[in-house]
Structure 1
Amino acid sequence: MCVRHQARTQEMKEKDHTYVGNADLNSHVCKVCFESLTSAMLLPCRHFCLCKSCSLACAECPICRTEIADRIFVFT
């Protein structure tokens, strides 16, 4: 029974690592065009989810639908 538990634990760790790895690949991609890297923090909600051109074209945050009052452009 202990061997089966260890195998199951290892399997869950591998799945969790794979999921985090895939999330990291997509975490800095614009959530509107899916082509450019994110470079704009939206205010007042502070979501960092859009590239510069999409942030200028959007009137509200695509994550929470808050009206965009201002943008901070970030250089990574």
Structure 2
Amino acid sequence: MFEDGELLKDRDVDIYPLAVKAEALTDCQNGNSDNGSSNSQITQAVFEKDKGEYHGEVDANDPGKECVICLSEPRDTTVLPCRHMCMCSECAKVPRFQTNRCPICRQQPVERLLEIKVNNGADE
């Protein structure tokens, strides 16, 4: 995790530290968020401007990028309704036929799998 001082931008250098927190809240009664549960993920990155172009470097020690089953492919499939994005599309086929439960929380049966493909610009 970045320390507070590391999130400050030095005006003489075109390096931008970035911390993004994504949070998903379940539906709450009467609009009170205290009664609902939430899932969150924090991603850290550093972007550097070099010759007019921005280059990103994501924290390589972040354990949250690989599929929790095969540990090699990037996560691209979310389990619904719990919203855990924890598997690659190939491994997502397995729980459907074995346990039908999320590999993270194991609490709820899998209703649907949502595959999210991210274009990282490598095809350009």
Given the two structures, how large is their TM-score scaled by the length of structure 1? Answer: 0.65
Determine which structure has the larger strand proportion and give its number: 2
Distance (whole Å) between structure 2 residues aligned to residue 32 and residue 40 of structure 1: 12
Letter in 2 for 1:39: D
Determine which structure has the larger helix proportion and give its number: 1
Alignment-derived partner of residue 70 in structure 1:
112
Alignment-derived partner of residue 15 in structure 2:
none
Distance (whole Å) between structure 1 residues aligned to residue 66 and residue 104 of structure 2: 13
Shift of 1:61: 0.8
Q: 1:1-76 alignment to 2 at 5 Å? A: 21=59, 22=61, 24=62, 26-58=63-95, 59-65=100-106, 66-76=108-118
SS at match of 1:38: coil
Identity %, equivalent residues: 30
User: Runs of 5+ in structure 1 lacking a partner?
Assistant: 1-12, 14-19
The one-character-per-residue Cα deviations of 1:16-72 (angstroms, maximum 9, x if unpaired) are xxxx842x2x21100011011101011010000000011111121111002211011
Letter in 2 for 1:27: G
RMSD: 1.5
Given the two structures, how large is their TM-score scaled by the length of structure 2? Answer: 0.42
Highest RCO, 1 vs 2 (Cα 8 Å, sep ≥ 6):
1
